[in-house]
Structure formats: structure tokens, C-alpha cells
Amino acid sequence: MADRKPIESWLTDMDGVLIHEGIPIPGADAFIKKLRESGKPFLVLTNNSIYTPRDLHARLNRMGLEVPIENIWTSALATAQFLDDQRPGGSAYVLGEAGLTTALHDIGYILTDHAPDYVVLGETRTYSFEAMTKAVRLINDGARFICTNPDETGPSAEGPLPATGAVAALITKATGKQPYFAGKPNPLMMRTGLNAIGAHSETSAMIGDRMDTDVLAGMEAGMQTFLVLTGLTRPEQIENFPYRPSRVVDSIADLVDRI
């Protein structure tokens, strides 16, 4: 295999890599600190569309992780960027929280349930039957179906929660329409993120804890990929996939010296 170019910019997933159930993973603070001191472009990514970058900045700050707002990239931002490119100044019916509605407001979208261009489904802890019924009817009437991410479950202290992908499957069953997913593993999220920090895939790396989203998206975007074992993917599961990360490490602490 040809030698890769030195890594000049870093993208890292958040949950399972930097934090776990609201607690920083050992080494995360040192990794972020060294990244900031190096001056290298970097992004902290999350498929969760509930929170705005400002919310996440405050959340991480409380845990001792100093991540500037401009270094946070969410599936909501990737979705908004996609819609702005596809249909500037459009309209959408949104099932989601402030992270998604704020991102769409910021690109000038009108949020409406009257003949919207799109139905946009994101993460929320309060999916309502009424809202899902409205989404189904609008899609049947011609609205295009967009989802922030395909994750079927999300983590919580009590155990897995149904997430965007699971609700998307329900709406697909009711409409016969498949959504377009903007978040990981769609390499679109990685490419828009790289563009946001002026980085190039050939000299960038993606760190994640999931083979099916983080590693796949990084690989398809042309980046080096590092799988950490502090999240969802276990060592014995790696061989179940037809692709491999560039390297497997125990945790983010093992990558501090790579910066």
C-alpha cells in the first residue's frame, strides 16, 4: 500500500471517543489540548442533531474539554448545508430539537407544515404520533424526505433508546419513501466538515468508535481511520466487516503523540 501523507487535520467522533455517558474518557483532555496547541485544523463530530454547537461547547466545557464552537460539526449542520446547496431558501417541516431547527433557520429556511419542500427528521426525545402522522401525510403529498442520520438507537444511562433511523423506518413503512441521510456514514458529512475547516482528505484522519458509521464514512471520504475500543465496536466484531480501519487503538489516549 502506498505511504500516506502526514496527518495535518483531525476529525473525531464525540460519544464513545471523547466522552462516555457524560464522563470524559481518559486522555480526551490531553488530546484536545494538544490539538489546540498544535494549531492543526480539527473537528469534533456527532450524528446527534439535538444540540447546537454552542450547547455542545458548554456541555464539553463542563467536563473539562475546551472545544471551540467553530470546531464542532453536527449532522444537523451537515443537513442544513446539504439543503442550502440543493434548494436555497426552501421550506421544511421538522421533527427535531433546537440543534436542527437553529441550523435550518441560520440558512434562511422557513419551518412550516404547509406544503413544505422537505420533511426533515432529526433526533428528539419527544417523538409524537401526531407529528409522525403529519410527516407521513406531507411526504405522501410530495415533500422530499430527509434524515439527519441513520442511527437506529442512541445511548442513555438506562440503556439504548430508539433514534432517528428507527423512526425513519416507521415513516418509510407508512409512505414507501426512503429518506436521504445526511449524517454518518454518508461521506457528505465528512466532506462538508473538511471544507468547513479548509482541510483535505489526503492529509486528514477520522477517529471513531463505530465501524459502521465513523470508520466507513472516514474511509469513503478518503481519510485515514482510527478505531478506538472505548465505544460500541468490540475487537471481536471488527472481522465481521468487509473493510478495516487504518489502525485500531485502545483509546484516544493512544493518539495524543500522533498529533
Q: Which residues are catalytic?
A: 13, 15
Helix, strand, coil: what percent of the chain each, to 5? 40, 20, 40
Alpha-carbon distance of 224 to 248, in angstroms, equals 11
The helix/strand/coil state of 10 is strand
Q: Give the Cα-Cα-Cα angle 233, 237, 155 (nearest 5 degrees).
A: 30
| Grid coordinates given for 100 | 436542527
Residues 6 or more apart in contact with residue 82 via CB below 8 angstroms: 146, 182, 188, 192
